[in-house]
Structure 1
Amino acid sequence: MLLAYEAKLLNMIDEIGNCPNIRVLGQEQGPLGEFLNNADAAFDLLRQLNGITLDPSLKRSFHRYNGLGLYWRGSGECGSLGGEFHLVQLLDAIVGGAPAWLQQDGWSEDELALHSEFRVFDSQFSGGVGTFSALRLQDGVHDPEVWYFNVTYGSVKLDIGYSDYMDFLLLTRGFYYWQYLFAEVPPEHYNFEAIGLELRKAINFLEENFPENDYSELSVRLDDRLSRWESG
């Protein structure tokens, strides 16, 4: 039987697939780790085997999929818009460790230290714009920070936790760069004005195609981020 958040994920994927103005270009539904049973059992297993205790709030968006991914683009005049996600359940993300390529020569000492704490739970399925989202696993921290990595600009900390991230993933359908709505965009991110324009188009696109959802918070956040960036 599916857990509550797993059902929400599959429903969101169905909504994307049934939207006449969206083309699904790639999809993966990896194995469901039914041996984990539920969030309580999975969190207990993580604590027993790895000595890691996660805050109970993370259970709200717990899922057991390894490799649940989707890549989509808008159709017609909206063909420049798109999104993707590729989800890994928390235990695999944590036990799998930090990405090896982020710990090689070429990064500063501070970056290497930060990267060593990353545990990637959302990346790209197919199209790719060089980004991923990760928990920052630190000793004694039970509610890990969420960081967003862009291969061009580096890493930024998001001002939302894991469960809120997963809720906003459902709302945004994974459109590209939505995570910047929840980050302080650094001034050196010279392309944010163009990204902001694409985010505006994406929000409008979702409002038109999924009118049952409320996207006002995303619009307010975009206005705020653009204002801060322009004044920074």
Structure 2
Amino acid sequence: MDYQKEFNEMLNSLKACPNVTVTEEDFFVKEEIIPSFFKKYKHLKIIEEEIKVLNDNKIVWGYTQASGNTLPMGETHLISIEKIISTKSKLEVRIRNSEAEEILAELLPFDDHPNAGDGIMGCLRWMNDQYEIWLCDAHLNCFKMNFGLSEYLKKLIELKAMYGWQYLFAELDIKSDAFKVIRKELKNRLTILHKCFPNLPVDSYLKKL
């Protein structure tokens, strides 16, 4: 997948949409990774192409409503691979639940929202030479996602990095009362997304809510 092309097309589609403002844009995909990197981190070879996108890349956008107010609509900050694999990227664990604490201690954030400050993070969890993708929220609740990094990036592009999109693909009961506020926000943003991009098949996502 040509990630530079796909993300450029996503940005261009946002900029072409009336009432949409891209407030932050800094996106550059690495052309290659030096071979010595994979000699040191052999387990990362399985996400070689995706690593090129993990380059401190950032996109933030909003939608101006009829009232004149701008609704924050989406954001991605794809943290650099160098920072991801450093010990400083580990989550600070404050809970005392052994199972949850074990999972949290292994999560490495790779996608967060410094502009919104909502605490939502996409995280990697490595187990030997395999990995999982997890969604982590501001309260350090963690939910496994049902795909790998390549599919994560594809869905991020498809849904224009819309806030909360990860909840649509996480292993959780989105219709439970615990996610009532999140459902409302997702419905609102998906409706706006459909206004901006009529060909985007948001109905299948709305049915999940």
Q: Specify if TM > 0.5.
A: yes
Decide whether aligned partners of structure 1 residues 79 and 31 sit closer, same or farther in structure 2, where only a CA change above 3 A counts: closer
- List per-residue Cα deviations over 1:57-93 (Å, max 9, x = no partner): x45655345221122221124744512110135x435
Which residue does the alignment assign to 1:92? 82
Which residue does the alignment assign to 1:29? 26
Which residue does the alignment assign to 1:205? 192
2:125 aligned residue (122, 136, 149): 136
Which residue does the alignment assign to 1:177? 164
- What is the one-letter code of the residue matched to 1:83? G
Matched, 1:109 2:98: yes
Question: Structure 2: how far apart are the matches of 1:208 and 1:18?
Answer: 13
- What is the one-letter code of the residue matched to 1:29? D
- List per-residue Cα deviations over 1:15-39 (Å, max 9, x = no partner): 22332222333x14166544xx2xx
Decide whether aligned partners of structure 1 residues 53 and 33 sit closer, same or farther in structure 2, where only a CA change above 3 A counts: closer
Decide whether aligned partners of structure 1 residues 66 and 212 sit closer, same or farther in structure 2, where only a CA change above 3 A counts: same
Bigger share in helix:
1
Contact 2:134-2:143 within 8 A present in 1 as well: yes
Matched, 1:126 2:115: yes
Scaled by the length of structure 1, the TM-score of the pair is 0.75
1:145 aligned residue (112, 126, 132): 132
Question: Structure 2: how far apart are the matches of 1:170 and 1:30?
Answer: 13
2:2 aligned residue (4, 11, 16): 4
Scaled by the length of structure 2, the TM-score of the pair is 0.82
Task: State the 1:124 CA deviation.
Answer: 0.9
Decide whether aligned partners of structure 1 residues 131 and 214 sit closer, same or farther in structure 2, where only a CA change above 3 A counts: same
Decide whether aligned partners of structure 1 residues 186 and 206 sit closer, same or farther in structure 2, where only a CA change above 3 A counts: closer
Question: Structure 1: how far apart are the matches of 2:94 and 2:189?
Answer: 36
Contact 2:29-2:53 within 8 A present in 1 as well: yes
Matched, 1:73 2:71: no
The answer for unaligned runs of 5 or more in structure 1 is 224-232
Task: State the 1:199 CA deviation.
Answer: 1.1
Question: Structure 1: how far apart are the matches of 2:52 and 2:200?
Answer: 22
Task: State the 1:94 CA deviation.
Answer: 4.5
- What is the one-letter code of the residue matched to 1:214? P
Decide whether aligned partners of structure 1 residues 161 and 31 sit closer, same or farther in structure 2, where only a CA change above 3 A counts: closer
Which residue does the alignment assign to 1:162? 149
SS at match of 1:133: strand
Contact 1:93-1:120 within 8 A present in 2 as well: no
Decide whether aligned partners of structure 1 residues 125 and 14 sit closer, same or farther in structure 2, where only a CA change above 3 A counts: farther
Which residue does the alignment assign to 2:16? 18
The answer for unaligned runs of 5 or more in structure 2 is none
1:217 aligned residue (171, 193, 204): 204
Question: Structure 2: how far apart are the matches of 1:140 and 1:115?
Answer: 19
User: Percent same amino acid at aligned positions?
Assistant: 22
Question: Structure 1: how far apart are the matches of 2:16 and 2:44?
Answer: 39
Contact 1:81-1:198 within 8 A present in 2 as well: no
Decide whether aligned partners of structure 1 residues 136 and 153 sit closer, same or farther in structure 2, where only a CA change above 3 A counts: closer
Decide whether aligned partners of structure 1 residues 69 and 157 sit closer, same or farther in structure 2, where only a CA change above 3 A counts: same
Alignment length, in residue pairs? 207
Question: Structure 2: how far apart are the matches of 1:92 and 1:10?
Answer: 23
- List per-residue Cα deviations over 1:118-163 (Å, max 9, x = no partner): 222211141221111011111132xx21100101361111112211
